[in-house]
C-alpha cells in the first residue's frame, strides 16, 4: 500500500463488487448494448430510487451515481450548509454523506448483475476517491486532463499529481480482491467542436496513464459529434489504437450521446439519441451513456432517465451491427490520432509529465478551451457536409496530415452557428418527421426506499 493511503474498511454491504469492465464486456459478447444514465440526486432516498429504477428498466443497464458540483470542486462546507438548509444539490454528495448512508443506498441493488459507477468531474478528487474506496465502489471515470482543462482553473500539473495519487490508491482495491475500473473522459473534451482525432488521442492517452499507475480494467470514451460516418471512423481508429497500445485486454469503448447544445424538441432529442445508439452498435462499442429529452432545460427526473435508457435499448436492438474495423487502410482520423499520441509519448516516459510538456509546447491543444495551460492556437469548424475539421492546427504535430486547403478563418458568427449546428439539424428533422411515429414513455412507480 502506498505510504499515507488509508486502509480499507469493509462495506456495509459486505460482498465484493463485480469488475465493471468484465461485466460490460460479457454483456456485449451476448449481443447486448449496455446503456447507462447520468443521474445523481442529493437525497439518498431519491438516489436509491433512481438506481432501483435503472436496474428494473427494460434494458441491459449499469447504475450511475453522479456527484454534485460542490463536491466536485472540494467545497464541502457548501455541501454541509445546503444539506442543513434542506436545499437540493445537483448530484449525490458522497463525501459528506456517511459511508453507512451510501451503503444503504446500494444495499440490495448493486450486485453481480448490476454494477454501479460514480461520475464526478473533479481535478481535485482525493476526498472522492477516499469515499469510493471506503464503500468499495470500484468504478469511476475522469482523467488528469479531461477533468482539468475544460472545467476549471486548477493548474494542469496539480491535476496530474492529484490523479497520479488517486489512481494509485484506487488500484490498491485489488489487494482486497476488488478489481478497480476507470473510464477516460478524454473522448469528451469540451463536449463539442473538438475534432474526432484529438478526442481519440486524448482517450487513449488517459487510458495509458491509468494503466501506468496500476489500473488493469479501463474503458475509453468517445462523444458523438456532428457526422455519423466520421464518428464511425473515429471509433474504429480508437479501437485499433487500443488493440495496438493498451497493455491490458480488459478494455471497452463507451459512446456518449451528444454533449453539446441539445435539441429543444422532444422528438429532436430522441432522434439524436437514436443516432448515438446506432453509432454504438455499428462501431462495436459495448456501452452507451444516454441523454434525456430534458437536457436542454433542466436536470432530468428518474422517469425521464428511464425513458431515455429504454428508448436507446429499443433502437439498439434493431440497429445493424458493423463489421470488424479494417486495419489495412489508415483512415485520416487514425493517422491524426496516432500522430498526436506518438507526439505526446515521445516527450517523456512518464505520461503525466508528457501531458504537461505537451500542453506547454502545443503538442496538445484543445480548440476554444480557455484554461491558462492550454496553448489556444488550434481551431475547428463544421464543414458543408457536417464533418468537424481543423481550421488551424497551431503547433499540433499534424502538419503533414492536415493541409492548408482545409484550414480557414473562424469568425464569431461562424462559431456561434457551429455551436448550434446539431440542435438546429435535429429540431428540423423533428419537424419533418412530426406525426410519423410516437414515442413510448416509461412510467415508473417509486420503489421501496429500503431506508428505515
- Identify the weakest region by mean pLDDT among 154-158, 337-341, 413-417, 434-438: 434-438
CB atoms within 10 A of CB 100: 11
Model confidence band, residue 451 (pLDDT cutoffs 50, 70, 90):
very low
pLDDT at 6: 43
Provide the pLDDT for residue 9.
Answer: 43
Helix ranges restricted to H, 150-195: 156-171
Q: How does the average pLDDT of the chain come out, rounded? A: 91
Average pLDDT over residues 63-71: 97
Q: What angle do CA 93, 164, 366 make, to 5 degrees?
A: 85
- Cβ atoms 363, 341 nearer than 8 A: no
What is the per-residue pLDDT for 368?
Answer: 93
DSSP state of 114: B
pLDDT at 118 over 70: yes
Grid cell in block for residue 364: 496538445
What's the rounded mean pLDDT across residues 92-106? 96
pLDDT for residue 438: 53
Percent of the chain surpassing pLDDT 70:
90
Angle at 355 between CA 202 and CA 348, to 5 degrees: 120
71: pLDDT strictly greater than 80: yes
Q: What does the pLDDT read at residue 439? A: 55
Binned at pLDDT 50, 70 and 90, residue 302 comes out as very high
pLDDT at position 46: 96
At which residue does the C-alpha cell 457526422 appear? 227
What pLDDT band is residue 191 in, cutting at 50, 70 and 90? confident
Our CA angle for 232, 66, 301, nearest 5°, is 90
Mean pLDDT of 325-343: 87
* Share above pLDDT 90 across residues of the chain, in percent, rounded to a whole number: 82
Report the C-alpha gap between 138 and 28 in whole angstroms. 20
Sheet strands (E) in 241-297: 251-256, 287-289
Q: What distance in Å separates the CA atoms of residue 107 and residue 227, rounded to the nearest whole number?
A: 42
pLDDT at 296: 72
Which pLDDT score is estimated for 447?
Answer: 38
Q: What pLDDT score does 14 carry?
A: 55
Q: Which three cell numbers stand for residue 91?
A: 448530484
Q: CA 266, CA 52: separation in Å to the nearest integer?
A: 25
In total, the chain counts a number of residues equal to 452
Cell of 303: 422517469
pLDDT the model gives residue 140: 98
Cell of 406: 482545409
Confidence of residue 2 (pLDDT cuts 50, 70, 90): very low
pTM, two decimals, is 0.92
At 325 the pLDDT is: 60
Q: Which pLDDT score is estimated for 294?
A: 87
CB 380 within 8 A of CB 193: yes
pLDDT digits (tens, 9 = 90+) for 199-248: 999 999 999 999 999 999 999 999 999 999 999 999 999 999 999 999 99
- At residue 184, does pLDDT exceed 90? yes
**Given pLDDT bands bounded at 50, 70 and 90, which one contains residue 263?**
very high
Q: Which residues of 164-186 are buried (b: 16+ CB within 10 A; e: fewer)?
A: bbbbbbbbbbeeeebbbbbbbbb
The mean-pLDDT minimum among 194-203, 335-344, 373-382, 437-446 falls in 437-446
Handedness of CA 214, 238, 18, 259 (dihedral sign): positive
With 50 as the cut, is the pLDDT of residue 405 above it? yes
pLDDT in tens, 121-171: 899 999 999 999 999 999 999 999 999 997 788 999 999 999 999 999 999
Pairing of β 379-382 and β 388-392: antiparallel
Residue-level pLDDT at 50: 97
> Going by C-beta distance under 8 Å and a sequence separation of 6 or more, which residues neighbour residue 60?
27, 32, 33, 34, 35, 313
Amino acid at each position: 500500500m502506498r505510504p499515507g493511503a488509508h486502509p480499507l474498511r469493509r462495506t456495509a454491504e459486505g460482498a465484493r463488487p463485480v469488475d465493471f469492465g468484465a461485466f460490460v464486456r460479457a454483456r456485449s459478447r451476448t449481443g447486448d448494448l449496455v446503456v447507462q444514465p447520468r443521474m445523481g440526486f442529493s437525497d439518498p432516498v431519491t438516489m436509491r430510487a433512481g438506481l432501483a429504477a435503472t436496474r428494473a428498466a427494460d434494458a441491459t443497464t449499469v447504475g450511475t451515481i453522479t456527484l454534485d458540483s460542490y463536491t466536485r470542486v472540494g467545497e464541502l462546507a457548501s455541501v454541509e450548509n445546503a444539506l442543513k438548509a434542506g436545499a437540493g444539490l445537483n448530484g449525490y454528495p458522497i463525501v459528506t454523506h456517511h459511508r453507512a448512508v451510501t451503503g444503504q443506498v446500494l444495499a440490495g441493488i448493486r450486485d453481480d448483475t448490476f454494477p454501479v459507477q460514480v461520475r464526478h468531474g473533479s481535478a481535485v478528487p482525493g476526498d472522492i476517491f477516499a469515499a469510493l474506496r471506503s464503500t468499495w465502489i470500484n468504478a469511476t471515470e475522469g482523467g488528469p486532463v479531461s477533468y482539468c482543462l475544460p472545467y476549471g482553473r486548477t493548474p494542469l500539473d496539480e491535476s496530474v499529481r492529484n490523479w497520479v495519487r488517486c489512481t494509485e490508491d484506487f488500484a490498491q482495491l485489488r489487494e482486497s480482491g476488488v478489481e478497480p475500473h476507470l473510464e477516460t473522459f478524454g473522448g469528451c473534451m469540451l463536449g463539442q467542436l473538438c475534432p474526432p482525432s484529438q478526442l481519440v488521442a486524448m482517450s487513449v492517452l488517459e487510458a495509458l496513464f491509468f494503466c501506468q499507475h496500476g489500473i488493469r480494467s479501463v474503458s475509453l470514451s468517445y462523444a458523438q459529434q456532428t457526422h455519423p460516418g466520421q464518428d464511425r471512423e473515429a471509433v474504429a481508429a480508437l479501437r485499433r489504437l487500443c488493440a495496438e497500445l493498451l497493455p491490458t485486454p480488459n478494455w471497452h469503448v463507451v459512446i456518449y450521446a451528444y454533449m453539446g447544445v441539445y435539441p429543444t424538441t422532444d422528438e429532436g432529442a430522441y432522434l439524436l439519441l437514436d443516432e448515438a445508439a446506432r453509432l454504438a452498435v455499428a462501431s462495436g462499442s459495448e456501452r452507451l451513456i444516454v441523454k434525456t429529452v430534458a437536457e436542454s432545460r433542466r436536470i432530468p427526473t428518474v422517469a425521464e432517465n428511464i425513458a431515455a435508457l429504454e428508448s436507446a435499448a429499443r433502437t439498439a436492438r434493431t440497429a445493424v451491427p458493423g463489421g470488424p474495423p479494417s486495419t489495412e487502410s489508415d483512415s485520416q482520423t487514425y493517422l491524426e490520432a496516432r500522430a498526436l499520441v506518438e507526439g505526446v509519448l515521445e516527450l517523456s516516459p512518464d505520461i503525466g509529465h508528457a501531458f504537461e510538456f505537451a500542453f506547454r509546447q502545443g503538442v496538445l491543444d484543445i480548440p476554444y478551451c480557455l484554461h491558462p495551460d492550454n496553448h489556444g492556437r488550434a481551431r475547428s469548424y463544421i464543414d458543408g457536409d457536417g464533418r468537424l475539421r481543423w481550421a488551424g492546427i497551431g503547433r499540433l504535430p499534424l502538419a503533414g496530415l492536415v493541409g492548408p486547403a482545409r484550414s480557414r478563418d473562424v469568425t464569431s458568427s461562424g462559431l456561434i452557428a457551429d455551436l448550434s449546428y446539431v440542435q438546429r439539424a435535429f429540431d428540423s428533422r423533428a419537424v419533418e418527421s412530426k406525426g410519423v411515429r410516437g414515442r413510448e414513455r416509461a412510467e415508473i412507480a417509486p420503489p421501496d426506499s429500503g431506508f428505515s
